[in-house]
Amino acid sequence: MTIKPGGPDIAPAQIIAGGGADVILDWMPSALATREKGVPLVNIAQPFKSSGMMLTCRKDSGIKTPADFKGKTLGVWFFGNEYPFFSWMSKLGLSTDGGADGVTVLKQGFNVDPILQKQAACVSTMTYNEYWQIIDAGLKAEDLVTFKYEDQGVATLEDGIYVHEDSLKDPAFVDKMARFVRASMKGWAYASANSDEAADIILENDASGAQTEEHQRRMMREISKLTAGSDGSLDEADYQRTVDVLLDAGGGIISKAPVGAWTSIVTDKAKM
């Protein structure tokens, strides 16, 4: 197996569309949007059962509950990450065009500078990463209030395993993927049970040299909460919630309910 590096500047869907990979990891909103645009991606496994996305807010901004968002500036990740946010604001009845009766959306880079510099009352964070960047920058947990998308009923499925639909016509490929998923889930189970050792393995393979032991160990402990209870199988209710959130959010990421966007044939075989 050859592992190709990812990152915020790399679009996995484009890699597989160009024949540069047999299997990719992607968030479901991106994968469903790609499928609607003509690249027939299919989810074959869903290691991340829960969403790690949340809004992290400064208490000194006056925000205690979502009702307090009105009139505030909120940092939002785009590139497909914004759709759960827009669905949430729609449910709250808040305009995203600014003004005293709505919220002002700040297009946030993949950092937490806006909350540190008080450019925004809240910013997008993941439970395992950016939230801790805020803490490491000097703010304390008691200075913050968090709103998990999972708790707000607008979470979409995150890291899943996707392949090209045509590849699933080959029984040998399906068998290979079943063994890959089985091994992957064994790896997740081991990493969760041995989180410090798993973090140390990441550090040993960190070509950048930028990672720290504290950060990686903390991330592993938090990520274990998102994979807990998953054997790799996709929960159809979680899938349907993701689709509903994307359709409710508008913005055109998907215009209709997808057909054939996921299959259980690989995970069913992986359990044998």
Question: Do 46 and 58 fall into the same domain?
Answer: no
Question: Do 211 and 111 fall into the same domain?
Answer: no
Other Cβ atoms less than 10 A from the Cβ of 189: the count is 15
pLDDT at position 5 is 82
What is the pTM (predicted TM-score) of this model? 0.90
Question: Do 163 and 44 fall into the same domain?
Answer: yes
Which CATH number do you get for residue 95?
Answer: 3.40.190.10
Contact present, 121 and 129 (Cβ < 8 Å): no
- Give the containing element (helix H, strand E) for 130: helix 130-136
Question: Do 28 and 163 fall into the same domain?
Answer: yes
Which domain covers residue 205, as residue numbers? 12-50+157-270
Q: Going residue by residue through the chain (272 aa), what tens digit of pLDDT does each one get?
A: 899 888 777 888 889 999 999 999 999 998 998 999 999 999 999 999 999 999 999 999 999 999 999 999 999 998 778 888 988 998 899 999 999 999 999 999 989 999 999 999 999 999 999 999 999 999 999 999 999 999 999 999 999 999 999 999 999 999 999 999 999 999 999 999 999 999 999 999 888 888 899 999 999 999 999 999 899 999 999 999 999 998 887 666 789 999 999 999 999 999 97
pLDDT at position 61 is 97
In a domain, 60, yes or no: yes
Question: Do 141 and 180 fall into the same domain?
Answer: no
Question: Do 27 and 58 fall into the same domain?
Answer: no
Rounded CA Rg of the chain:
19
In a domain, 136, yes or no: yes
Among 113, 131, 152, the domain-final residue is 152
How many domains does one find in the chain? 2
**Residue 29 one-letter amino acid:** P
Among 152, 167, 196, the domain-final residue is 152
Token pair of 189 as six digits:
């189970």
Among 122, 152, 182, the domain-final residue is 152
Question: How many angstroms separate the CA atoms of 26 and 12, rounded?
Answer: 7
Mind spelling out the 3-state secondary structure of 189-256?
HHHHHCHHHHHHHHHHCCCCCCCCHHHHHHHHHHHHHHHCCCCCCCCHHHHHHHHHHHHHHCCCCCCC
Question: Do 19 and 45 fall into the same domain?
Answer: yes
In a domain, 162, yes or no: yes
Three-state SS at 57: strand
